[in-house]
Amino acid sequence: MKTAIISGASRGIGKAIAISLAKEGYTVIVGYCRNKAKAQEVCDLIIKDGGIAEAYQCDVSAPCQVRAMVEYSKAKFGNIDVVVANAGISAYGMLIDHSDETIANVINTNLVGCITLCREASKVMLSQKSGNIVTISSMWGQVGGSCESVYSATKGGIIAFSKALAKELALSGIRVNCVAPGFIDTEINSNLSQDEKNQIVADIPLARAGTPQDVANAVVWLTSDKASYVTGQVVAVNGGLVI
């Protein structure tokens, strides 16, 4: 039995990843922070399609909750074969307008949460001498986004962290890669008006917004044997907007 843990999997990109990995035969742990109903909907879709899934509440900014999720998954399902560190939040606006609480919350959720999940998963994977870790960054982690400075900092940190961890774990048979989505049509962009979205799409060479499935497809490939010689890489899924 192959097992995958996906944080932030109750909606958007995480939901698409969870469903896609379930179709590849993984038992899926659908991590969520607050919306149990949405997480259960994801599980129900997977189960209806013949898969195995279980929702697990975990605020990734709390290390004790991350540790508990990984330990629970290991105890119940055995090996942990794939971990996707997807949970994240945004903070749009001028840096001077961000409170201490907002800055800390974004950093602790996006960057520290990713690092903590990868640390706890690595403990299991090292004992197995196998595993796949995929972190989810952003194009703004590659080039920085105006009025998203703190968010960009966390996503840039995820890229550097992923490259370093890949070198650290490679000899143990564990691959670590990063996916950097571009403009994806999800709730995280709900602060934008339709005109603003249209302006962004107009700058994308492929002339459309990305979908959660576009990102999920990259994750599925990275965790497959077809990518067995790929580690420490950043796969940009952005329609050519950032090259």
Q: What H or E segment, with its residue span, contains residue 143?
A: helix 139-143
Q: What H or E segment, with its residue span, contains residue 46?
A: helix 36-48
Residue at 170: amino acid letter: A
142 three-class SS: helix
Can you tell me the distance from the alpha carbon of 11 to that of 83, in angstroms, rounded to the nearest whole number?
17
186 three-class SS: coil
User: CB count, 10 Å around CB of 112?
Assistant: 19
| Sheet of strand 2-6, all strands in order from the earlier edge strand to the far edge | 53-57, 26-32, 2-6, 82-85, 131-136, 174-181, 234-237
Rg over alpha carbons for the chain, rounded to the nearest Å, is 17
Angle (CA) 100-103-105 rounded to 5° is 105
Return the active site residues: 151
* Distance between first and last Cα of the chain: 38
Burial 142-174 (b: 16+ CB within 10 A, else e): beebeebbbbbbbbbbbbebbbebbeebeeeeb
